[in-house]
């Protein structure tokens, strides 16, 4: 989780609003950013999505999804 925190800080420092999708997080915010639990609303409302790992749930937004898991093999 630490690496994504760095990305969040960097993006926010550039003045870009950040929304975090985390269905298991029971908090309205994560490091000062809004948390959402609805993946479809999240995908529709974001211009860009940064993910630690690829998920097939992102297949319909590949044009705006960025991940370090370039070969889609870092599952877990």
Fold of 2-67: Rossmann fold (3.40.50)
**Single pTM value for the model:** 0.79
pLDDT digits (tens, 9 = 90+) for 13-23: 999 999 999 99
DSSP state letters, 1-40: -HHHHHHHHHHHHTT---EEE-TT--SSEETTEEEE--HH
pLDDT digits (tens, 9 = 90+) for 9-68: 999 999 999 999 999 999 999 888 999 999 999 999 999 999 888 889 999 999 999 887
Domain residue ranges in the chain? 2-67
């Amino acid at each position: 989780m630490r690496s994504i925190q760095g990305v969040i800080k960097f993006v926010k420092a550039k003045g870009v609003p950040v929304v975090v999708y985390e269905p298991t997080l029971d908090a309205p915010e994560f490091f000062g950013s809004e948390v959402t639990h609805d993946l479809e609303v999240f995908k529709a409302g974001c211009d860009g999505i940064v993910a630690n790992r690829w998920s097939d749930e992102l297949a319909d937004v590949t044009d705006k999804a960025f991940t370090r898991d370039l070969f889609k093999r870092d599952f877990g």
